[in-house]
Amino acid sequence: MRNFLEWMAGTPLRILIILIAAGFIQTFGSRAITRAMNKLASADLVPGPRNIVARQKERASTIGGVLTATLKSATWIIATAMALGEFGFDLGPLIASAGIVGVAVGLGAQTLVRDILSGIFMLIEDQYGVGDSVNVLEIEGVVEKVGLRVTTVRDGQGTLWYLRNGEILKVGNQSQSG
């Protein structure tokens, strides 16, 4: 019985602490991102007659969603690596081989990289955001979700379209003014 309690106080307890910490980081980080995006959405960043508060709220919503998804992914990848380390897996060779695997995956996943890079530039340039009425790849509709890899647009007939950001070469946005 004593050996079991000593074992439980070791690896399983540390893994439980890692998982609880990851859950707290995700929960509180998501709340912080939401709070920051709400402040950004309500801040008067463009004073005067060109105040475009609605557009600012949509952009804050879009960026908030991307940041929350990024936080969630990074948190759980790190927590998984830490838990594997607690089980005794030697992560050194895994990390060293990541460079080689990265090159192979990079060559095989060029479209994925193109989609993500296009998504980053689309967000930075504020080409469109959640709630915008757009014309993309012969599809007219309202943007429902914007991610780094995929944008979802619902057309007038109610169909939800998933558009890879790397394939979007031109966008018509009826929601943005001059």
Q: In angstroms, how far is CA 88 from the centroid of its own chain?
A: 31
What residue segments make up the domains of the chain, in order of their start? 1-89, 93-178
| Straight-line distance from the first to the last Cα atom of the chain, in angstroms, rounded to the nearest whole number | 74
Q: Which CATH class for the 93-178 domain?
A: mainly beta
One digit per residue, the tens of pLDDT, for the chain of length 178 reads: 677 666 666 778 888 999 999 999 999 999 999 998 888 777 765 555 455 666 677 777 778 888 888 899 899 989 998 888 888 888 778 777 777 777 777 777 788 778 888 888 887 777 888 888 999 888 999 998 888 889 999 998 999 999 998 888 888 888 776 5
Residue 59 contacts residue 126 (beta carbons within 8 Å): yes
Question: How many angstroms separate the CA atoms of 76 and 74, rounded?
Answer: 6
Whole-structure pTM value:
0.57
Question: How many angstroms separate the CA atoms of 46 and 54, rounded?
Answer: 12
Question: How many angstroms separate the CA atoms of 61 and 93, rounded?
Answer: 40
Question: How many angstroms separate the CA atoms of 22 and 10, rounded?
Answer: 19
